[in-house]
Amino acid sequence: MFETVSENRCFGGVQGVYTHDSDACACDMTFGLFLPEEAEDGPVPVLWYLSGLTCTHENAMTKAGAQLWAAEHGIAVVFPDTSPRGEGVANDDAYDLGQGAGFYVNATQQPWAPHFQMWDYVADELPRLLLNNFAIDEERQAITGHSMGGHGALTLAMNLPGRFASVSAFSPIANPTKSDWGRKQLSAYLGDDEAAWQRHDASLLVKNVGFDGPMLIDQGSNDQFLDLLKPEALSAAIAEARQPAAFRMQKGYDHSYFFVASFMEEHIGFHAEALYR
């Protein structure tokens, strides 16, 4: 079960924050969930928003501006945390490893394996909790995310065929097997066998698996982390695989939530079109 931390009226719906005992992560986990007014009458489509490095459930919930546009389309938005947390959960002094940096994988290596099962948490445990307790339509799901969360959104969408009607990403970590934002974390969580990393690299997945649905990628041209994100690898993979997708370099934008908020209306409209098709 879950406990309610807070619920606030928001654009006619409710923005809630909830905590629960996670079997996957073996600790308490917190998530945000926006339910539009239509959820009072029955199940509504849901958009998953996965956040980036250092974020909790709260960052995008308060900064991305998703609720207004989700309310206009009658769509729920769920904001999971980015990692397990708490006393006894492994951590690292670096901001890009450990708590706040789960990378949406199931860790197999120590000391991470006992708690860092974020793939199972986002792909299985949290969806079951939502479907069993809230007015969420299991058949109408879409996914998006920012930075590390964009990586998670793309890899989940391509590894779970049929789950998501559409996928989008804001400045995703696009080629982690070739980047310091990726090689460090994948080796720590999954070990040195790089074959185990392949299913967590969006650029490789586009070429090897693809996505049977609409895909939208926005990347800021002034992003201070371009060398780590490697958007050119994803763009090239999309072209090589002839993957139906819109890849947009947005002039002058950086990596911040100001960038995310600037294009949130378009992303939610993009997902609404797929969810209501």
Residues 14-26 have pLDDT tens digits of: 999 999 999 999 9
Q: What is the pLDDT of residues 29-43, one digit of tens each?
A: 999 999 999 999 999
pLDDT band for position 266 (cuts 50, 70, 90): very high
- pLDDT for position 161: 98
Q: What is the pLDDT of residues 88-103, one digit of tens each?
A: 999 999 999 999 999 9
Residue range 237-265: mean pLDDT, rounded: 98
Instruction: Give the Cα separation of 182 and 189 in Å (integer).
Output: 10
- 244 and 138 Cβ atoms separated by less than 8 Å: no
Q: What is the Cα Rg of the chain in Å?
A: 17
Q: What is the pTM of this model?
A: 0.98
**What tokens does 255 get?**
């990596």
Q: What sections of the chain are H helices per DSSP?
A: 58-63, 66-73, 118-120, 126-133, 148-159, 180-190, 202-208, 226-229, 231-241, 257-275
- pLDDT for position 11: 98
Per the residue annotation, which of 147, 171, 203, 235 is the catalytic one? 147
- pLDDT for position 1: 86
Residue 180 has pLDDT above 90, yes or no: yes
Q: What is the pLDDT of residues 59-78, one digit of tens each?
A: 999 999 999 999 999 999 99
Handedness of CA 64, 66, 67, 72 (dihedral sign): positive
Q: Provide, rounded to the nearest whole percent, the portion of the chain with pLDDT above 70.
A: 100
Q: Provide, rounded to the nearest whole percent, the portion of the chain with pLDDT above 90.
A: 99
The structural domains of the chain, ordered by start, are: 2-276 (3.40.50.1820)
Q: What is the pLDDT of residues 198-248, one digit of tens each?
A: 999 999 999 999 999 999 999 999 999 999 999 999 999 999 999 999 999
255 labelled catalytic: yes
Residue 6 has pLDDT above 90, yes or no: yes
Instruction: Give the Cα separation of 104 and 123 in Å (integer).
Output: 9
What is the DSSP code string of 223-243? -TTHHHH-HHHHHHHHHHHT-
Average pLDDT, the chain: 98
223 labelled catalytic: yes
Residue range 111-132: mean pLDDT, rounded: 98
Q: Tokens 């993979």 identify what position?
A: 237
Instruction: Give the Cα separation of 204 and 181 in Å (integer).
Output: 16
Per the residue annotation, which of 201, 223, 235, 267 is the catalytic one? 223
Per the residue annotation, which of 115, 255, 267, 271 is the catalytic one? 255
